[in-house]
Amino acid sequence: MKGILLCGGSGTRLHPLTKVTNKHLLPVYDRPMVYYPLQTLVQAGIEEIMLVTGGNHAGEFLRLLGTGAEFGLKKPLSYAYQEEALGIAHALSLAEDFAGESPVCVILGDNILGSSIADAVAEFTADPRGAMVFLKEVDNPSEYGIATLKDGEIIEIVEKPRKPKSYLAVIGVYLYEPAVFEVVKTLEPSARGELEITDVSNHYLRQGKLKYKLYEGYWGDAGESISALLAVSNEVAGWGRREI
């Protein structure tokens, strides 16, 4: 299993903070936001990781993270540059050569998880077919991709529904088989001109190959808004100082 950490996007929801830096470099309590998803991957036993970023501040990730040795990575952290903000699935496509024939764990750089995903990663690695998403109940379902379950199976995922059928959000962690990059190549841009990660999930759903886990730990989307960034920081402060 290889890890792909996505830190692109324009970060407009966090203006004016993101006028001078990438949102994933903003502080969440006592360390940069990007540290948390990177730690999530490492703590899941993933030793090879690529960070995909874009915009005018890409070099700051290299200065901050370097080879990733500080996090215990046995192989140097890899980097890729997304020249345009063309969507999460497009950013994922840039890691095709890096991934090779390995399954991948994709995590969004503004997702803060309080519990390990190691068990799910181990389960998927043992049988890396299709895809797996993580679901978490939220109070504001119109802001996320929302999954509807029936008889214990996902029957639908709708991106930011106006009339949500459930409160189960697809959080920003995805496990994919190596063939996911071929799936991305078949996607058409959405109305906003991006390749949507929800379309990848729905492809596997139509194929009957989409698995899921109900994520029971704390999950925060630090990039949703300024107030969300504050709420996540306050939550993390309660965890106490933790070693990298």
In this prediction, residues 158-179 reach a mean pLDDT of 95
pLDDT at 44: 97
Residue 49 has pLDDT above 80, yes or no: yes
Mean pLDDT within 62-86:
95
pLDDT at 11: 83
Q: Is the pLDDT assigned to residue 172 strictly greater than 80?
A: yes
What are the E-state strand segments in the chain? Answer: 2-7, 27-28, 31-32, 49-54, 78-82, 104-108, 111-113, 131-137, 145-150, 153-159, 168-176, 210-214, 219-221
pLDDT in the model for residue 233? 97
The CA–CA distances, whole Å, from 80 to 117, 171, 173, 192, 193 equal 24, 23, 19, 23, 21
CB 236 within 8 A of CB 113: no
**pLDDT, average across residues 176-203:** 96
Q: What is the pLDDT of residues 11-25, one digit of tens each?
A: 889 999 999 999 999
pLDDT of 74 reads 84
Please check the confidence at residue 244 and state whether its pLDDT lies above 70. no
Structural domains of the chain ordered from first start: 2-237 (3.90.550.10)
pLDDT digits over 93-109, tens only? Answer: 999 999 999 999 999 99
* Tokens describing residue 166: 């459930």
Q: Is 114 exposed, middle or buried (0-12, 13-18, 19+ CB in 10 A)?
A: middle
Nearest partner of 6 among 47, 43, 67, 58, judged by Cα: 58
Per-residue pLDDT at 243 exceeds 90:
no
pLDDT range class, residue 9, cuts 50, 70, 90: confident
Q: How many helices (H) and strands (E) does the chain have?
A: 8, 13
- pLDDT (mean) for 31-56: 97
Residue 60: its H or E element: helix 58-65
Summarised one tens digit per residue, pLDDT across range 197-215 is 999 999 999 999 999 999 9
